[in-house]
């Protein structure tokens, strides 16, 4: 059984589309329904229901894989599904297969390293903490913002104040056929970004400060 998060409005989801070309005829598809909300009161019953569905197949002797965008250990629904499954059946065997997470996919698309040498990298799930960006920029050399679409205007204003728009990049739908790259965000205060967008800030101001430090003896 090949499980994946069901898409919206009857359309195939991102993970399902990514794996579609590799599925064999004998592999059956199992869309699992997870609401696109933040409320735990709605998410928890969905995780439990999905885990129950998976457990039903495991008890029938099937093997179930769960396809996820990027890496399954990086802000992934897989974590909640696996935890819920193990609560229902502690003896269930769960294995994580590593994938390429979106910051690294975006760096490859941009043709730039994400980090070098002693640079400090910070990842912010911006939807929950966009206002922390300014503080983080006082010490991080590279900042990656996930879940940035709904707070993009606020993020743009902060980058504007910090004079970092020129050193910021967005990759929409990295590594898919609909991928779009924006480099130098000064001209883009009002982008309507899709959920699968990532923003990378190369904090040049701090990088110059670090470069100016005397080398340790």
Ligand X SMILES: C[S@@+](CC[C@H](N)C(=O)[O-])C[C@H]1O[C@@H](n2cnc3c(N)ncnc32)[C@H](O)[C@@H]1O
List contacts with ligand X (CB under 6 A).
Answer: 68-71, 74-76, 101-102, 105, 146-148, 171, 173-175, 195-198
Q: Toward ligand X, which CB reaches closer, 58 or 96?
A: 96
Question: How far is the CA of 5 from the CAs of 66, 132, 190, in angstroms?
Answer: 8, 30, 30
Residue nearest to ligand X (CB): 70
Q: Say whether 97 sits in a helix, a strand or coil.
A: coil
Q: Residue 30 CB: number of other CB atoms within 10 A?
A: 19
CA distance 204 to 199: 15
Diameter of the chain measured on Cα atoms: 65
- For residues 148, 149, 150, 154, the Cα torsion angle rounded to the nearest 10 degrees is 60
Q: Toward ligand X, which CB reaches closer, 180 or 205?
A: 180
Shortest CB 167 distance to ligand X, Å: 19
Shortest CB 48 distance to ligand X, Å: 19
Q: Toward ligand X, which CB reaches closer, 168 or 197?
A: 197
Determine how β-strand 168-172 pairs with β-strand 121-125: unpaired
Shortest CB 90 distance to ligand X, Å: 25
Shortest CB 15 distance to ligand X, Å: 9
Q: Toward ligand X, which CB reaches closer, 121 or 210?
A: 121
């Amino acid at each position: 059984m090949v499980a994946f998060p069901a898409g919206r409005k009857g359309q195939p989801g991102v993970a399902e589309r990514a794996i579609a070309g590799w599925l064999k005829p004998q592999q059956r598809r199992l869309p699992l329904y997870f609401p696109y909300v933040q409320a735990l009161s709605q998410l928890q019953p969905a995780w439990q229901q999905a885990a129950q569905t998976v457990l039903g197949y495991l008890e029938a002797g099937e093997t179930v894989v769960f396809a996820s965008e990027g890496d399954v250990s990086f802000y992934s629904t897989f974590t909640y599904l696996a935890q819920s499954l193990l609560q229902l059946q502690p003896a269930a065997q769960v294995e994580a297969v590593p994938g390429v997470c979106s910051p690294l996919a975006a760096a490859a698309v941009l043709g730039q390293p994400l980090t070098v040498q002693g640079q400090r990298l910070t990842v912010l799930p911006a939807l929950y903490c966009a206002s922390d960006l300014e503080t983080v920029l006082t010490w991080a050399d590279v900042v990656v913002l996930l879940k940035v679409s709904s707070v993009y205007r606020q993020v743009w204003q902060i980058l504007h104040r910090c004079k970092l728009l020129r050193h910021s990049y967005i990759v929409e739908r990295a590594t898919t056929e609909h991928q779009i790259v924006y480099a130098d965000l000064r001209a883009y205060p009002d982008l309507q970004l899709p959920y699968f967008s990532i923003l990378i800030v190369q904090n040049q101001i701090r990088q110059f400060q670090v470069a100016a430090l005397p080398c340790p003896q």
